[in-house]
Chain A
Amino acid sequence: AQSVTQLDSQVPVFEEAPVELRCNYSSSVSVYLFWYVQYPNQGLQLLLKYLSGSTLVKGINGFEAEFNKSQTSFHLRKPSVHISDTAEYFCAVSSGNQFYFGTGTSLTVIP
């Protein structure tokens, strides 16, 4: 069975500070991992994904994530956040034609 845990439901951070949003997964099969962002009153937008290969994945808007198989983690990072990064962030694991989403992390960037 697949599951995703996002331990931090809310993360406040000051503008231009670095941020890490944590994601841990459990999966009994091959792992495909995703991070999506949802801005207020919008749908989900893909930030980045890991399918195979290099464990450091770079995405849009300056975000990156590192796949760590031994720790079953896929944490999302950005070295310097902007006000416009305020949004809900969802980690997901893909299995067949289904996504298993984490509960989400609400990132608030403080001016």
Chain B
Amino acid sequence: DTEVTQTPKHLVMGMTNKKSLKCEQHMGHRAMYWYKQKAKKPPELMFVYSYEKLSINESVPSRFSPECPNSSLLNLHLHALQPEDSALYLCASSQGTRGGETQYFGPGTRLLVL
């Protein structure tokens, strides 16, 4: 099973709302990632968790708050977002964090901020 699942598939929120994105994998992977992808652009790395600890934060605004409750789950908490945060949010996982590890991507959550 090489599946990464993400919920919800679509999300519309106002700028004052609080919402969360959820990502799950059952491959025993110890690294998980959040990416933001705008239309016709490559994914941009936001956060990396390695062994449930945040190892990389690519200068993401504090209105995005990641959480890794256990090795299978990754959440992204959203608060006071801006319209420019509208994008496809992708989760990925890999066995570890050595070079050459394949990242397996979920289908994404398409977020619209009004």
Contacts and interface: CB of A to CB of B under 8 A. Distances in A.
Interface of A: 29-30, 32, 34, 36, 41-46, 49, 51, 88, 90, 94-99, 101-104, 106
B66 interface: no
B47 to A, nearest CB: 11
A51 B100 CA distance: 6
Given A101-B43, A103-B42, A94 B106 contact: no
A60 B99 CA distance: 22
B100 A43 contact: no
Given A96-B97, A98-B56, A43 B107 contact: yes
A75 B65 CA distance: 37
A106 B31 CA distance: 29
B42 A90 contact: yes
A97 B31 contact: yes
A44 B99 contact: no
Contact of A42 (B98, B104, B107): B107
B105 A43 contact: yes
A94 B33 CA distance: 14
B103 interface: yes
Contacts of A46: 102, 104
Nearest to B107: A43
A17 B45 CA distance: 35
A94 B99 contact: yes
Contacts of B41: 103-104
B50 interface: yes
A99 B92 CA distance: 11
Given A96-B97, A97-B96, 5 more contacts: A36-B105, A43-B6, A96-B99, A104-B41, A106-B40
For B99, B104, B108, the residue with the greatest tally of chain A CB atoms inside 10 Å of its CB is B99
B43 A95 contact: no
Nearest to A99: B103
B99 A43 contact: no
A95 B42 contact: no
A104 B105 CA distance: 16
